[in-house]
Structure 1
Amino acid sequence: MRKQFLRALGRAAFIIGVGAAPALAEPQHGIAMYGEPALPPDFVALPYVNPDAPKGGRIVVGEVGSFDSLNPHILKGVVPWQLRFLGYESLMGRSYDEPFTLYGLLAESIEVADDRSWVEFTLREEARFSDGSEVTIEDVMWSYETLGTIGHPRYLGTWAQVEEMEQTGPRSVRFTFSTDNRELALLIGMRPILKRAQWEQKEFTESGLDTIPIGTAPYVVSDFEAGRYVEMTRNPDYWGKDLPFMQGQANLDTIRMEFFADAQVLFEAFKAGAITSIRETNAEKWATQYDFPAVQRGEIELSEIPHQRPTGMTGFVMNTRRPAFSDWRVRSAMIHAFNFEYINDALTGGRQPRIRSYFSNSLLAMEDGPASEEVAALLQPHSDSLVPDALEPYALPEGDGSASNRANLRQAQALMREAGYSVEAGRMTTPDGRPFGFEILLPSSTPEADVGAIIDLYVPALERMGIDVTVSRVDKAQYAERTDSFDFDMTFYTRGLSLSPGNEQKLYWGSAAASSQGSLNWMGVQSPAIDAMIDEILTSQSRDDFVTATKALDRALTTGRYVIPIYQFLESRIAHDAALHYPDTLPIYGDFINFHPDVWWYEAE
């Protein structure tokens, strides 16, 4: 109620001079999580773009699955994931060559309190929606309030920490925060801005294919067929084409997304020329199946793009809301039964390294060996919510490469016995004497073609332990519905992580998100230790404290055994039309959001 009240009175307040604000901070062109932005106020382009890239051409990418909505800002429906990033802009834009730094986009400047208790943005006069209408402060404030109250759950957590939103000038808005959280000043600048007038007679939360939200970005949806394709066209009248931040970006005239039943069909479509760019996640396939004629003729190029970001987590998540996986020893047994070395050799020729922890491949990763003194000091007060060996040396079990995996299966059986389980007449039984089994839920198709093959190799090991396993493959819509409502025992799971983790960690594994339908806390973890480490990250006053808190979070998550980790991807493997190019200078995030196809261009030889 308080935020709505301020929203209604904000414009009058600044006109008549009531409620004058305290002394303003100095307006800045950007903001960094720690320290100062790397680029000066007069920068001419981001460091990882080609500012002289030609405009024109098209890219056709393939997606596995389908879609039934074009509104990426609500929970309802399945939406092409690219729409959220290609079709909308925010007050600030992110540089992916810095851990977490924002520069003005729709906003010409940002002002922030020394303690980051508030932040103020001034809107650019020239900002326009794709239909040519002016972007107003009313649009900005309506977007924040609407997304923060009835939008997708990813927007709700930040909005809940806003105490006041008020208009402070003809083109300026200030957000005052209710919590001590240094990241909020950055996060609040990253919400998509929509056109208020478009929704005055429509139901925002029910929109599907009949209404495409109007944004300010360079691309607009120009054509689509439900479930089959979406085509986006570059707006020749895009308002921000002369901004330094946008130089060398949005170079392609057309971006088309084609949808396919499964990854193999998508691959064959690429070989046939129906799509012009594809990411390959299987190292063995990359090494052995990308020598088809178009590659040999030089019409297709094979590019490997490295990065310096954390691995994140990809694997099979166990739902701790279910009795089957509420005991960490059972989860540990499932990890021991997973014969990674054999599976990796069978499917990738042993080429693909395994994820070791959530933040591995970065300085934020938990240390080998026992917890450091600093990490232990953070975790020790919450030891009751950690597994018993959380502060001790921990590493994933390694097999000998054989199909039998006998040593790890023996350890898995021992863990089950320790948890009160036993084998009766060849069947695993729970402590109360019932047969033990669970369902592995999989989408009928994923971009990672070998997910089903991995499970096919895993299930026999579980069956040898006497566990009754059901593998259910469902279509994308049903999969989204079931995972949104946490209706699964075990399922395929991936979470990308950045070099500057923050509030999104609460959505991934915070206790409050465990019971919030549609949240990304699929594992259902409710741990005071994890909650406390996230808070430590958010309130850290120095880079060193931030790194220590993240290492502690990584240790709490990894030793909690919530996910069976599989492959890590230290580079992106992209096969593409030889006329598609990307800059020689790569950002530290590599092929991440806003790299492909944002900074690519088309130029035939």
Structure 2
Amino acid sequence: MYGEPALPPDFAALPYVNPDAPKGGEYVQSEIGSFDSMHPFILKGRAPWAWQTFGFESLMGRSQDEPFTLYGVLAETVETGPNREWVEFTLRPEAKFNDGSPLTVEDVMWSYETLGTLGHPRYHTAWGKVASMEKVGERGVRFTFNEADNELALLMGMRPILKKADWEGVDFEEASMRVPVGSGPYVIDNIDPGRSITLKRNPDWWGKDLPFYRGQHNFDTLRYEWFGDGDVAFEAFRAGELSYNRENNVAKWNSSYDFPGVQSGDVVKAMIPHKRPSGITGLVMNTRLPLFADWRVREAMILAFNYEFISEKLNDGGDPRICSYFCNSELAMQPGPAQGKVAELLAPFAADLPPGTLEGYTLPVGDGSVRNRANLRAAMDLLNEAGWRVDDAGVLRNEAGEAFAFEILLQTGAPQPANIAELYVEALKRLGMQVTIEAIDRAQYKERTDAYDFEMTWYTRPLSMSPGNEQILYWGSQGVTEPGSRNWMGMNSPAAEAMVKAMLETDDREVFLAAVRGLDRVLTAGRYVIPIWYSPEARLAFKKQMKYNADHLPAYGDWAGFLPDVWWWEE
């Protein structure tokens, strides 16, 4: 995205793999909930993410050791215009699907148009910026763009390629258990509908000798087992039925990982550092609803969240709090008032920005006591300003007599969000609010969050070291009404969209940094999410036979492309 790739054209392998890793072994991972589709490219249905990840390929592959750099996979060469106004890919002649048929330019073009028009909304934004797509020679395809966006040339290399003939007579927009043909390193070996899938490494996979893939995809089988909740999955891991467990809770890491497998050395514990931004995790408020439309109400909700007490009680106070969406990175907003290019970029929107965006905003800090009195008093003052008063019966009401009542929607099988919500509700009751918690299964949860049918819910958005077009899907105004976006809070901010536009149009690293820091201010001071903690290291526990290159961890750490991609099994 910026500068030159870290690896030369003749690189032998990615730096964080073991290029001589042995092949073999079985990897078993838990998933929570269920699945009802093997079609992972549309909004409908619940398809296993692993099938898309390991069953299909794109023109380019991403190095997890650089903020945003791609290397050729299906594409043998890539060329761009002087201002990235177009990009042209040439396919490798040896590329083929797993049924043995050649992978052609026609397959690429059909895939891009179909995904961009009928596929999941995540594919639509970039496709809308394509002015034309044309075949060049026997193996080339060129995309010409209709607006300035330096990221588009990379995004065009990252779409899954499907076999056109495989979809003839099939309704692409309908979810089903039909298994589509892919070109990736694994094929489906077994499906137990709703309960498990097993992927088998394809020994005849066309791409196994590519430098990009050397040392990757080492397990013979990848098996994914679905469980009703995280506690049951953890017990399965303790019993040796799963290959690894990722632990997000410090308190549990400190207290629950002394079982016999750890004591005997059969299970290994490791901390995997990373350089990613914190992203955002916490309780999101749906501002499409009048109840949370006022920033003063949202600030009151943040004040009422007794973070210091909750963190100590549920997480041993072991991880730092998320201070902003891009916290823990150079992309994060700087303390104090906006200055320089950041202030310049935000200035046209100053009149409509909530307080703290330009002046500087920090999350309130409590005294750590269970009562959190000072912050609750400040919260009540803001609620009073916004027109809410506690009546004689102790119920918080507005001038129309409506009670301040809402529901926190959670997914079953997620104990940490449930525990946090229960402690939070106790504090909200002291403000006169009437709050309930509802936990529903994964299918219902997906349906309701896709349609933004909630008042408050649990929200997690990981963010990369090179934010770009995906930010529109996360925060763009289309998501206020268009279902299936990541804009669960329903924010409609011209300032946020302008920051994303500036990020995409510049080739100046300093302007890019300023635009992201400006976006971080808009998001954080918008007070849409009540953030909890993040970990600058991932906590992994795994069977001792599982190995990774501990001498060179990718910059993204425990992220897509790490586990199980570059691990291997060694007796």
Identify the match of residue 525 of structure 1 among 491, 495, 498. Answer: 491
Identify the match of residue 501 of structure 1 among 467, 478, 499. Answer: 467
Alignment of 1:163-562 (within 5 A): 163-209=131-177, 211-425=178-392, 426-446=394-414, 449-562=415-528
- Equivalent-residue separation in structure 1 for 2:49 and 2:424 (angstroms): 30
CA contact (8 A) 1:306 1:590 kept: yes
- When normalised by structure 2's length, the TM-score is 0.99
- Equivalent-residue separation in structure 2 for 1:181 and 1:97 (angstroms): 23
- Equivalent-residue separation in structure 1 for 2:438 and 2:542 (angstroms): 34
Which has the higher mean CA deviation after the structures are superposed, 376-385 or 102-111? 376-385
- Equivalent-residue separation in structure 2 for 1:492 and 1:359 (angstroms): 19
CA contact (8 A) 2:68 2:466 kept: yes
Identify the match of residue 97 of structure 1 among 65, 73, 98. Answer: 65
Which has the higher mean CA deviation after the structures are superposed, 177-186 or 219-228? 219-228
Alignment of 1:155-170 (within 5 A): 155-170=123-138
SS at match of 2:20: coil
Alignment of 1:70-89 (within 5 A): 70-89=38-57
Which has the higher mean CA deviation after the structures are superposed, 425-434 or 113-122? 425-434
CA contact (8 A) 2:282 2:459 kept: yes
The one-letter amino acid of 1:418's match is E
CA contact (8 A) 2:341 2:511 kept: no
Alignment of 1:12-161 (within 5 A): 33-161=1-129
CA contact (8 A) 2:405 2:433 kept: yes
- Equivalent-residue separation in structure 2 for 1:246 and 1:385 (angstroms): 49
TM-superposed CA distance for 1:513, in Å, is 2.3
The one-letter amino acid of 2:161's match is I
SS at match of 1:206: coil
CA contact (8 A) 1:118 1:185 kept: yes
CA contact (8 A) 2:334 2:517 kept: yes
- Equivalent-residue separation in structure 2 for 1:430 and 1:234 (angstroms): 61
Which residue of 2 is the match for residue 9 of structure 1? none
Give the percent of matched residue pairs that are identical in Structure 1 and Structure 2: 57
TM-superposed CA distance for 1:100, in Å, is 0.4
Which residue of 1 is the match for residue 548 of structure 2? 582
SS at match of 1:142: helix
- Equivalent-residue separation in structure 1 for 2:479 and 2:46 (angstroms): 21
CA contact (8 A) 1:127 1:240 kept: yes
Deviations 1:409-436 (A, max 9, x none): 0111011111111111211112433111
The one-letter amino acid of 2:316's match is G
Deviations 1:380-419 (A, max 9, x none): 1111331022111311111111100101101110111111
TM-superposed CA distance for 1:352, in Å, is 2.0
- Equivalent-residue separation in structure 1 for 2:562 and 2:553 (angstroms): 9
Aligned length in residues: 569
Which has the higher mean CA deviation after the structures are superposed, 511-520 or 476-485? 511-520
TM-superposed CA distance for 1:486, in Å, is 0.5
Cα 1:432/1:383, change in 2 over 3 Å: farther
The one-letter amino acid of 1:372's match is Q
Which has the higher mean CA deviation after the structures are superposed, 391-400 or 312-321? 391-400
TM-superposed CA distance for 1:132, in Å, is 1.2
Deviations 1:348-403 (A, max 9, x none): 11112211100011000001122223211111111133102211131111111110
TM-superposed CA distance for 1:207, in Å, is 3.1
- When normalised by structure 1's length, the TM-score is 0.93
- Equivalent-residue separation in structure 1 for 2:114 and 2:368 (angstroms): 53
- Equivalent-residue separation in structure 2 for 1:97 and 1:471 (angstroms): 41
Which residue of 2 is the match for residue 564 of structure 1? 530
Which residue of 1 is the match for residue 559 of structure 2? 592
CA contact (8 A) 2:246 2:541 kept: yes
CA contact (8 A) 1:317 1:493 kept: yes
CA contact (8 A) 1:438 1:468 kept: yes
SS at match of 2:325: coil
- Equivalent-residue separation in structure 2 for 1:439 and 1:226 (angstroms): 32
- Equivalent-residue separation in structure 2 for 1:327 and 1:53 (angstroms): 56
TM-superposed CA distance for 1:85, in Å, is 1.6
- Equivalent-residue separation in structure 2 for 1:385 and 1:481 (angstroms): 33
5+ residue gaps, structure 1, are: 1-32
CA contact (8 A) 2:250 2:318 kept: yes
- Equivalent-residue separation in structure 2 for 1:462 and 1:80 (angstroms): 37
The one-letter amino acid of 1:248's match is G
- Equivalent-residue separation in structure 2 for 1:69 and 1:141 (angstroms): 25
The one-letter amino acid of 2:542's match is H
- Equivalent-residue separation in structure 1 for 2:258 and 2:363 (angstroms): 35
The one-letter amino acid of 2:480's match is A
CA contact (8 A) 1:385 1:528 kept: no
SS at match of 2:49: coil
The one-letter amino acid of 1:462's match is L
The one-letter amino acid of 1:111's match is E
- Equivalent-residue separation in structure 2 for 1:431 and 1:159 (angstroms): 47
SS at match of 1:82: helix
TM-superposed CA distance for 1:66, in Å, is 1.0
SS at match of 2:206: coil
SS at match of 1:205: coil
The one-letter amino acid of 2:223's match is R
CA contact (8 A) 1:74 1:151 kept: yes
The one-letter amino acid of 1:501's match is P
CA contact (8 A) 1:85 1:594 kept: no
5+ residue gaps, structure 2, are: none
The one-letter amino acid of 1:526's match is N
- Equivalent-residue separation in structure 2 for 1:431 and 1:560 (angstroms): 25
The one-letter amino acid of 1:496's match is P
- Equivalent-residue separation in structure 1 for 2:187 and 2:535 (angstroms): 31
Which residue of 2 is the match for residue 7 of structure 1? none
- Equivalent-residue separation in structure 2 for 1:497 and 1:41 (angstroms): 28
SS at match of 1:599: coil
